[in-house]
Structures are given as C-alpha cells and as structure tokens.
Structure 1
Amino acid sequence: MSDEGLIQELKDLRERVLGVSDTIVATADGLLVASDSYEIHAESVAALAAAMLGLARRTTGEVGVGGLREVVTRAQSGHLIVYAIGEQALLAVRGDEGLDLDGLHVQSRSSVERLADLMSVDLDA
C-alpha cells in the first residue's frame, strides 16, 4: 500500500469537488490510514466515522435495503460523509456549507475504487 498514493487520491478528491475541506481513509475498526486534513483531529474522526459506518451497516441490514454505500450527516455549518470501501475501510469527507454534494457523490465512486485498489480491498465483499 502506498501512503503517498492514498494521500494524493485524497488531495485530488478535495481539488475536484467544491467545498471539500478534509478527507481521511481509515480501517473499518477506526484506525487512521491516511489523511488530507488540516482542520480536524484525523485520528478521532477515523474512530467516530468507523462507529458511524458500523451502526449504519447494522441498520441497513436490519431494514433490508442492501449493502451500505455511504452515511451523510448534514450539520449547521457543513457535512460529514462516510463512504464504505468494501467491508474493511472507509473514506470520510468533511465539507463546508457550500459542498457540492451531488458532485461529491459522483466523484467519490471513482475515488473509492482507486483507494480500494491502492489498499488491496475487495469492493465486492
């Protein structure tokens, strides 16, 4: 796994989508893998995002709506979106109020695939 490749992919996502301010990759159990973050404590967000992802997976399984893609949290002054990278990892994206959420969803698909390749994560798991 190339940390430089992961960080570059995070930077590229931030540059491609208006309003993205911070991005991190973490394991599904909350360990920070890579970060392009300046305004948040990446290790804490990694742990909290993993908890969000776990709860959302459990909930979607319970209600029978299929495999989890992402968790979107909208707050007063921004967003936190957590994307599943297979069963083993996650991508967390923090955006401001002006976040292009539709653009992020489009761009995140290819970012998740590239991150999975860099981490050797099976997206079909």
Structure 2
Amino acid sequence: MSQEAIVLELAGLRGRVMGVTDSVVSAADGLLVASDTDGVQPQSLAALAAAALGLGKRTSSEVGMGTLREVVTRCQGGYVVIYAVGVEALLVVMGDEGMDTATLRRESRRTVERIGEILEVTPAV
C-alpha cells in the first residue's frame, strides 16, 4: 500500500471539487490509513466515519433498497460524506456549505475506484 499515492488522490479530489476542505481514508474498523486534512483530527474522523458507515450499511440492508452508496451528513457549516471503498475501507470527504455536490458525486466514484486499486480491497457485494 502506498500512503503517498492515497494522499495524492485525496489532494486531487480537493483540487477537482470546489468546496472540499478535508478528506480521510480509513479501514472499515476506523483505523486511519491516510488523510488530507487541515482543521480536523483525522484519527477521530476515521473512527466516527466507520461507525456512521456501519449504521448506513445496516439501515440500507434493513430497508432493502440495495447497496449503500454514501452516507451524507449535512451540517450548518457544510457536509460530511462517507463512501465505502470495497468492504475493507472508506473515504470521508468534508466540505463547506458551497461544496459542489454534483461534481463530488461524479469525482468521488473515480477516487473510490483508484483508492480501492491502491489498497487492493475486495469489491463491495
């Protein structure tokens, strides 16, 4: 695994999507893998995001609406969006209120795929 390659992917996402402020990749259990953060504690964000993703997956399964795509938390000051990277990892993206969510949806798919390739994770089923 190349932590530097993941950090480059995170920085690239920030550069391509207006409003992205921070991002983190962690293992599904919340262990930090890599981060591109400024004002956030990446270890805490990784652990909380893993818990939120777990709840989202369980909710998705319970309601029978298919595979979870993302967990979105919209706050007064912006967004926290969590994506599964296969079944073994996750990507957390934070953005301000002006974050371009349409571009984020498009660009995050590519970023998740590339991070998955770097981590060589098992695809989600």
TM-score of the superposed pair, with normalisation by structure 1? 0.98
Partner of 2:74: 74
Partner of 1:47: 47
Superposition misfits of 4+ residues, deviation over 4 angstroms: none
Q: Which amino acid aligns with 1:46?
A: A
Percent identity between matched residues is: 53
**Superposition pairs of residues 28-39 of structure 1, within 5 angstroms:** 28-39=28-39
Instruction: Indicate the SS of the match to 2:18.
Output: coil
Instruction: Indicate the SS of the match to 1:94.
Output: strand
Count residues with an aligned counterpart: 125
Q: Could you report, residue by residue, the CA deviation over 1:48-97 in whole angstroms, capped at 9, with x for unpaired residues?
A: 00000000000000000111111011010100000010111000000000
Check if 1:16 corresponds to 2:16. yes
* In structure 1, C-alpha distance between the alignment counterparts of 2:80 and 2:11, rounded to whole Å: 17
- Unaligned 5+ runs, structure 1: none
* In structure 2, C-alpha distance between the alignment counterparts of 1:124 and 1:62, rounded to whole Å: 17
* In structure 2, C-alpha distance between the alignment counterparts of 1:36 and 1:112, rounded to whole Å: 15
* In structure 2, C-alpha distance between the alignment counterparts of 1:124 and 1:45, rounded to whole Å: 22
Cα deviation, residue 105, structure 1: 0.4
